[in-house]
Amino acid sequence: MVQPLNRLKESASQTAGPYVHIGLTPNFCEIGGVYPEDLGTKMVNDKTKGERITVIGRVIDGTGTPLKDALIEIWQADADGLHNSPSETRGTADPNFVGWGRSPGNMDTGEFVFETIKPGRVPFKDGRLMAPHISFWIVARGINIGLNTRMYFGDEEKANEEDPILARIEHRVRVPTLIAPRDGNTYRFDIHLQGEKETVFFDS
Amino acid sequence: MTNKGPETGAFFQRDREWHPQAFTPWYKTSVTRSPQRALLSMDNTLSEITGPTFGHNILGEHDNDLLINFAKPGETAIGPRIIVYGRVLDERGMPVPNVLVEFWQANAGGRYRHKKEGYVAALDPNFGGCGRTITDENGFYNFRTIQPGPYPWPNGVNDWRPAHIHFSVFGHGFAQRLITQMYFEGDPMIDLCPIVKTINDPEAIRGLTAALDMQATIPMDSRAYKFDIVLRGRRSTLFENRLEGN
């Protein structure tokens, strides 16, 4: 007889719904006075180490229409490739950089914006370095479970070629969906939920 | 718990047949917002194993009290007064301490405070609908609010959401990030809801249904509902490759 492992099951996900901003960015949706400011809207200060960059993009549905009710969170390493997390064992990350950000899409254009820094490289499990990347998590009405993807940097061609995660994408034509082109200090990263240009999403 | 170092293992694989699928056409908005290609599977890297932490310094005194956190001084929100409490655990049954839990909901009449919302039910001038807290060292959280009302929505001709509270939970790694909804025991609307029905397994739906707890109820004041949240468990790192020298 098989012995029971007595594990619990993860709570099932449900959509964040159209009013996710009431809970996660109340000031953005005109519920003032409850929190002094929305969490995750400011990622850098004067002392944060690293190159300042802006990440701009939209989340686009299967008809080509940008979502105007999505909420995007990002998580990334600091300029030296260290995460500001208790589970980071390789050293202490920049105390002036939490590494986490949250952005609602603009209610008219759907555009999200993050003012952040370019992350350093983080090792893969076998010690090879991954290319610089930012982890994305996308929730919205109509999305039943949050979608995970990564943004890589268009000006990191050599690092991207060596990246062990990008190397696992069998259909090479899909690799560019994860690579954001650079224009000045701005990277544009449009996320396509469905169709011809569908972004690669991860189960990790 | 406090003497233990932080955990650094990868998370258990998500059971994506237990969670709702992306494409659930009876919930119409999912039709154009669901990826059609398979997800790319990978074991967690440091980018997923690590995650942000939040200190109590972000919390205001009334952040977990929706009865008063938007109300004028001396007034409170209108509706059935309830306390919602429970634990954040992982799949191993271990408490998940010191993690941020955020929640949002409609008022007692089912009306959200949001400018894109057009339901005829009135706003409550003393109810905003958002709150947050951080779990204690044993993974417990609690907040006080009013029980939200059911709410009609433009999906089917006559679809109504059951009374629900939205929850957003951080764990200790970004891969544990979860948004879900809490329903109320005994609500006949649960079985009718297209969003609830995005979940196939009745056990998984039961897991999102809070139980009335008369023992935690405060006499002549507020009823209590218990809602435990389970996040992904972690693998032990005992025999896994260590990144020595990196």
Instruction: Give yes or no for a contact between B55 and B197, defined as CB atoms under 8 angstroms apart.
Output: no
Instruction: Give yes or no for a contact between A24 and B168, defined as CB atoms under 8 angstroms apart.
Output: yes
Distance from CA of A182 to the nearest CA of B (A): 22
According to DSSP, the residues that pair with B166 across neighbouring strands are B104, B181
Active site residue B161: yes
**Cα nearest neighbour of A36 on chain B:** B60
Q: How many residues does chain B have?
A: 246
Active site residue B164: yes
Q: Which of residues 74-133 of B touch A (CB under 8 A)?
A: 89-93, 102-104, 112-117, 128-130, 132
% helix / strand / coil in chain A, to the nearest 5? 10, 25, 65
B106: left (phi over 0), alpha (psi -120 to 50) or beta: beta
Give the C-alpha separation, A27 to A21, whole Å: 9
H-state helical runs in chain B: 30-33, 46-49, 202-206
Q: Which residues of B touch A107 (CB under 8 A)?
A: 116
Nearest partner of A180 among A202, A150, A153, judged by Cα: A153
From B40, B113, B230, residue closest to A22, measured CB to CB: B113
Q: Which of residues 171-200 of B touch A (CB under 8 A)?
A: 172-175, 177-181, 195-196, 198-199
Mark the ranges of chain A whose per-residue pLDDT is less than 70.
none
In this prediction, residue A2 carries a pLDDT of 86
In this prediction, residue B241 carries a pLDDT of 58
Task: Test A11 with B102 for CB contact under 8 angstroms.
Answer: no
From B24, B40, B90, residue closest to A168, measured CB to CB: B40
Active site residue B112: yes
Q: Where are the domains of chain A?
A: 20-192
Nearest partner of B113 among B64, B144, B71, B84, judged by Cα: B71
Active site residue B166: yes
Give the C-alpha separation, A57 to A61, whole Å: 13
In this prediction, residue B246 carries a pLDDT of 38
Distance from CA of B213 to the nearest CA of A (A): 20
% helix / strand / coil in chain B, to the nearest 5? 10, 25, 65
Give the C-alpha separation, B113 to B167, whole Å: 17
Give the C-alpha separation, B201 to B188, whole Å: 18
Dihedral sign from CA coordinates of B87, B88, B90, B95: negative
Strands B140-146 vs B164-169: parallel, antiparallel or unpaired? unpaired
- Mean of per-residue pLDDT scores for chain A: 97
In this prediction, residue B242 carries a pLDDT of 56
Q: Which of B27, B85, B141, B151 is catalytic?
A: B151
**Which of B45, B54, B141 is the best residue to mutate to test the A interface, defined by the most A CB atoms within 10 Å of its own CB?**
B45
Using the Cβ of B47 and the Cβ atoms of chain A, whether some distance falls under 8 Å is answered with yes
The CATH-assigned architecture of domain A20-192 is: Sandwich (2.60)
Using the Cβ of B209 and the Cβ atoms of chain A, whether some distance falls under 8 Å is answered with no
Coil, strand or helix: which one is A1? coil
pLDDT 10s digit of each residue in chain B, 246 long?
Answer: 445 678 899 999 999 999 999 999 999 999 999 999 999 999 999 999 999 999 999 999 999 999 999 999 999 999 999 999 999 999 999 999 999 999 999 999 999 999 888 899 999 999 999 999 999 999 999 999 999 999 999 999 999 999 999 999 999 999 999 999 999 999 999 999 999 999 999 999 999 999 999 999 999 999 999 999 999 999 987 777 555 443
Task: Test A87 with B172 for CB contact under 8 angstroms.
Answer: yes
What is the number of CB-based contacts under 8 A between chain A and chain B?
281
Q: Which residues of A touch B235 (CB under 8 A)?
A: none
In this prediction, residue B3 carries a pLDDT of 55
Nearest partner of A135 among A181, A97, A178, A190, judged by Cα: A178
Where does chain A show beta strands of DSSP type E? 52-57, 59-60, 71-75, 100-104, 112-117, 133-139, 147-153, 179-180, 182-183, 186-188, 191-192, 202-203
Q: Which residues contact A173 (CB under 8 A, 6 or more apart)?
A: none
Query: Two tokens at A93?
Result: 């990350």
